């Protein structure tokens, strides 16, 4: 084991970081299965990169709020462990790339000195809790959702019910009915409401993007705020138990709800409340630490280019509900900026605003709590950083995932085409600098990290094959998506696939037709009026692969001929005994259960014991070459193959034993007995495994 140690004051965090260091060492020595190691490191924000031998690190920044000291810390870490570049994601995280796996525990420890975590930024966990970047300052919000998003983040961080689910789980909070948190495309989306003077939320359930986007269902028109955490715990427990695990493509919550129906799912969640410790969780919004703006006199500033200043104010300034203050939007091209600018920005907001920035869902930065009379000074200082480009959250502000730059799954370049399309709009369609109604998004593959299928105009990275089997980069053009507000949205239609180098021409045709055929209409209205077939006919000649030029075989941002390839960013592990690894994990889960019990966190203790028993049952099923999937399926299969056949002797069925978790409140007495059950079950299946080895 590594002798790595941290100086983190929080013993739970320190243990977490040391565990990562130890598991890296075990993996390198061939003592941990590759899939198990991947699951562990992903849950700690360490993600395989397209380039061999390096990792992408995702930093979890709940609801996009970053304090000035945290921004400096992130910049220092990027300089020390990476290349000084920061990437803002569409989930309000920051990613840094090209990190040595062996250095990730040290990197994590450095971040935690300023309360910044990697924990559960990736993997089959509750991902970053996102929110409207204007939360707390929105002129239309009924109340600030930040304390509620923060409470959800903290409650489910390291929570045993959400560590090893079938797939990731995404949560959002919207400040108002404008639904800028995009609730309709999340597993759980909360829209702030007040009903008879009581704070609560409209709750959306089961949305998602990817290759098969699904609009979330309305679970509750209004749910009081004290109920959102118990509700989410119930949803996660049911998803963990019944969610798909064999096929990753079908392992999201949206597919489970599609399979069993909304009402059946809701009944399971309601029934699960009996097993949850806290029936209500009061969130003290008054205790939430709100950033306080500084009091400072405006320095004297002379604006040299008044026209540029006025344009910037018209596109990048957001009104605040607080009298005398505004927020400043910074358009960040492709979400990428560098640490030298990050430090200067941190100094600026600390000395002249409220010491914080917000990262938004379109990969930009918002500075809240700027005094109106400081705007000339901020313009001057931000201009020095190259941060005064007009068009914040406007049509020219294109969202794009990293694509083939660094992502394993990228099929074609999303960043290269995004940069070119922004250039086309800026030069040829300057009127769109101030157009907030047109949204353009690009993803490098079908997984939709760039959220292309919810945009008015979307592009998805693909490839196209000629008759003589040559392969060129391509784009799927999608049109007509959009956010309707109050939990309603429309997903874009797939219209046509074209070679990537024809993307700018496709955009020109769409915008030219829009300009010629509409007056004061939103693009989504124009699209509905014209229809999908109209746009297919408008663009279909661009789809032909019979007349490709040499340039069509070179992707945007590259000088080399295109090769369709899934990048390799994971190290291959040696073959080990997976069954032994699963049994070892069962032991660890029991130890975690005992630790939680000692700390009087009985709900966690019970869930760790439950996970141990499922894990143990899975191990013995795999030893008999039985394919496993859902947790509920594993429980059923163990009964069918081992209990009913009398291969093992138990006082009851395995189902009756393990499903006590549903029928008992998390008391210390039940937790203690349930942990003993898990220990006895592990001994039972290990004995069975040893007998099999002897017979074979």
Residue 3 CB neighbours (<10 A): 8
CA distances from 191 to 144, 252, 282, 358 (A): 11, 22, 18, 19
Rounded CA-CA distance 459/481 in Å is 12
CA distances from 361 to 422, 457, 471, 599 (A): 18, 17, 33, 38
Per-residue pLDDT at 333: 92
Per-residue pLDDT at 695: 64
The answer regarding whether domain 399-553 maps to CATH 3.30.413.10 reads: yes
List, for residues 428-452, the tens digit of each pLDDT value: 999 998 888 899 999 999 889 999 9
- 599 burial class (0-12, 13-18, 19+ CB within 10 angstroms)? exposed
Most confident of 3-7, 297-301, 308-312: 308-312
Rounded CA-CA distance 540/495 in Å is 9
Per-residue pLDDT at 2: 47
Average pLDDT, integer, range 288-307: 93
Rounded CA-CA distance 673/671 in Å is 6
Residue located via tokens 């989930």: 91
Per-residue pLDDT at 503: 96
Average pLDDT, integer, range 496-517: 95
Most confident of 407-411, 462-466, 486-490: 486-490
- pLDDT category, 80, cuts 50, 70, 90? very high
Task: Name the residue ranges covered by the structural domains of the chain.
Answer: 11-112, 130-287, 306-384, 399-553, 578-695
List, for residues 612-644, the tens digit of each pLDDT value: 999 999 999 999 999 999 999 999 999 999 999
List, for residues 510-536, the tens digit of each pLDDT value: 999 999 988 778 999 999 999 999 999
Residue located via tokens 């998506």: 481
pTM metric for this prediction: 0.93
Per-residue pLDDT at 32: 82
Helix (H) or strand (E) holding 657: helix 654-658
For residues 416 and 564, which has the higher predicted lDDT (pLDDT)? 416
Query: 240-249, 406-415, 513-522, 564-573: which range is least confident on average?
Result: 564-573
Per-residue pLDDT at 8: 72
Give the CATH class of 578-695: mainly alpha
- pLDDT category, 565, cuts 50, 70, 90? low
The alpha-helical segments, DSSP class H, found in 68-174 are: 68-81, 104-112, 146-156
Residue located via tokens 């080990």: 576
Helices (H) and strands (E) in the chain, counts: 21, 22
Pair of tokens at residue 640? 């069918």
Fold for the domain defined by 130-287: Sulfite Reductase Hemoprotein; domain 1 (3.30.413)
**β-bridge pairing 46-48 and 171-174:** unpaired
List, for residues 314-369, the tens digit of each pLDDT value: 999 999 999 999 999 999 999 999 999 999 999 999 999 999 999 999 999 999 99
List, for residues 105-134, the tens digit of each pLDDT value: 999 999 999 999 999 999 999 999 999 999
Residues β-bridged to residue 496: 477
List, for residues 577-614, the tens digit of each pLDDT value: 578 888 989 999 999 999 999 999 999 999 999 999 99
CA distances from 305 to 26, 182, 299, 608 (A): 60, 37, 18, 62
Per-residue pLDDT at 102: 94
Rounded CA-CA distance 383/694 in Å is 74
Rounded CA-CA distance 82/336 in Å is 14
For residues 412 and 145, which has the higher predicted lDDT (pLDDT)? 145
CA distances from 624 to 18, 621, 637 (A): 35, 5, 12
List, for residues 218-246, the tens digit of each pLDDT value: 999 999 999 999 999 999 999 999 999 98
- pLDDT category, 268, cuts 50, 70, 90? very high
Per-residue pLDDT at 323: 96
Identify whether the C-beta of residue 582 lies closer than 8 Å to the C-beta of residue 622: yes
Q: What DSSP string describes 580-600? A: HHHHHHHHHHHHHHHHHHHTT
**β-bridge pairing 94-99 and 130-131:** unpaired
Q: Measuring CA to CA, which residue among 220, 261, 229, 218 is closest to residue 242?
A: 261
**pLDDT of 1 higher than 80:** no
Write down the mean pLDDT value for the chain: 93
Q: What CATH number has the domain spanning 11-112?
A: 3.90.480.20
Residues β-bridged to residue 648: none
Per-residue pLDDT at 132: 98
**β-bridge pairing 65-67 and 55-59:** unpaired
Per-residue pLDDT at 51: 86
Whether the domain at 11-112 and the domain at 306-384 fall into the same CATH topology: no
The alpha-helical segments, DSSP class H, found in 115-220 are: 146-156
- pLDDT category, 696, cuts 50, 70, 90? low
For residues 150 and 248, which has the higher predicted lDDT (pLDDT)? 150
Radius of gyration in angstroms for the set of CA atoms belonging to the chain, rounded to a whole number:
26
Pair of tokens at residue 182? 């995009």
Pair of tokens at residue 670? 């039940």
Fold for the domain defined by 306-384: Alpha-Beta Plaits (3.30.70)
Per-residue pLDDT at 6: 54
- pLDDT category, 561, cuts 50, 70, 90? confident
Per-residue pLDDT at 566: 52
Long-range contacts of 73-76 (CB under 8 A, 24+ apart): 73/110, 73/111, 73/113, 73/114, 73/116, 74/111, 74/116, 74/342, 75/339, 75/342, 75/343, 75/346, 76/110, 76/339
Percentage, residues of the chain above pLDDT 90: 82
């Amino acid at each position: 084991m590594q002798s790595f140690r941290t100086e983190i004051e929080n013993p739970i965090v320190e243990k977490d970081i040391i565990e990562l260091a130890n598991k890296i060492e075990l993996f390198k020595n061939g003592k941990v299965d590759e899939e198990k190691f991947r699951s562990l490191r992903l849950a700690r924000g360490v993600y395989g990169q397209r380039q061999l031998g390096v990792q992408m690190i995702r930093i979890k920044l709940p609801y996009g709020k970053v304090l000035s000291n945290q921004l400096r810390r992130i910049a220092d870490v990027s300089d020390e462990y990476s290349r000084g570049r920061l990437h803002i994601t569409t989930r309000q995280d920051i990613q840094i790339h090209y990190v040595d796996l062996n250095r990730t525990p040290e990197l994590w420890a450095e971040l935690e000195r300023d309360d910044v975590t990697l924990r559960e930024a990736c993997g089959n966990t509750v991902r970053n809790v996102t929110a409207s970047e204007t939360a707390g300052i929105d002129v239309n919000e009924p109340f600030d959702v930040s304390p509620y998003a923060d409470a959800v983040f903290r409650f489910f961080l390291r929570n045993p019910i959400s560590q090893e689910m079938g797939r990731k789980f995404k949560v959002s909070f919207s400040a108002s009915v404008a639904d800028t948190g995009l609730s309709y495309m999340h597993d759980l989306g909360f829209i702030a409401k007040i009903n008879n003077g009581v704070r609560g939320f409209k709750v959306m359930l089961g949305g998602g993007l990817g290759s098969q986007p699904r609009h979330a269902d309305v679970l509750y028109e209004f749910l009081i705020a004290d109920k959102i955490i118990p509700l989410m715990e119930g949803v996660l427990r049911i998803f963990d138990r019944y969610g798909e695990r064999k096929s990753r493509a079908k392992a999201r919550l949206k597919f489970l709800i599609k399979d069993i129906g909304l009402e059946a799912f809701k009944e399971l969640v309601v029934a699960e409340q009996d097993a949850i410790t806290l029936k209500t969780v009061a969130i003290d919004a008054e205790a939430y630490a709100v950033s306080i703006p500084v009091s400072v006199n405006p320095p004297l500033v002379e604006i040299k280019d008044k026209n540029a200043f006025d344009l910037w104010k018209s596109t990048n300034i957001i009104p605040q509900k607080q009298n005398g203050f505004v927020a400043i939007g910074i358009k960040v091209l492709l979400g990428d900026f560098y640490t030298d600018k990050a430090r200067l920005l941190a100094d600026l907001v600390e000395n002249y605003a409220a010491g914080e920035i917000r990262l938004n869902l379109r990969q930009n930065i918002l500075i809240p709590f700027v005094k109106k009379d400081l705007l000339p000074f901020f313009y001057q200082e931000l201009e020095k950083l190259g941060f005064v480009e007009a068009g914040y959250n406007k049509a020219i502000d294109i969202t794009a995932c990293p694509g083939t730059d660094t992502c394993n799954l990228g099929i074609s370049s999303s960043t290269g085409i995004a940069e070119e399309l922004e250039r086309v709009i800026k030069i040829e369609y300057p009127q769109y600098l101030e157009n907030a109604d047109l949204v353009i998004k690009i993803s490098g593959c079908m997984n939709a990290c760039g959220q292309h299928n919810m945009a008015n105009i979307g592009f998805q990275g693909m490839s196209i094959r000629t008759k003589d089997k040559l392969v060129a980069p391509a784009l799927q053009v999608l049109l007509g998506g959009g956010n309707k507000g109050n939990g309603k949205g429309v997903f874009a239609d797939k219209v046509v696939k074209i070679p990537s180098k024809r993307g700018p021409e496709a955009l020109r045709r769409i915008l030219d037709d829009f300009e010629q055929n509409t007056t004061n209409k939103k693009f989504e209205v124009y699209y509905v009026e014209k229809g999908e077939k109209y746009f297919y006919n408008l663009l279909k000649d661009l789809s032909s692969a019979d007349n490709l030029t040499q340039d069509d075989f070179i992707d945007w941002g590259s000088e080399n001929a295109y090769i369709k390839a899934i990048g390799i960013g994971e190290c291959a592990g040696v073959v080990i005994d997976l069954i032994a690894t699963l049994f070892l994990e069962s032991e660890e889960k029991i130890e975690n259960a005992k630790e939680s019990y000692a700390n009087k966190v009985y709900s966690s203790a019970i869930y760790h014991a439950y996970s141990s028993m499922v894990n143990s049952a899975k191990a013995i099923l795999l030893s008999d070459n039985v394919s496993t999937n859902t947790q509920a399926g594993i429980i059923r299969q163990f009964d069918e193959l081992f209990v009913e056949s009398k291969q093992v002797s138990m006082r009851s069925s395995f189902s009756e034993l393990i499903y006590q978790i549903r029928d008992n409140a998390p008391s210390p007495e039940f937790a203690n007995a349930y942990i003993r059950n898990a220990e006895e079950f592990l001994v039972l299946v290990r004995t069975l495994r040893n007998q099999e080895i002897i017979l074979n």
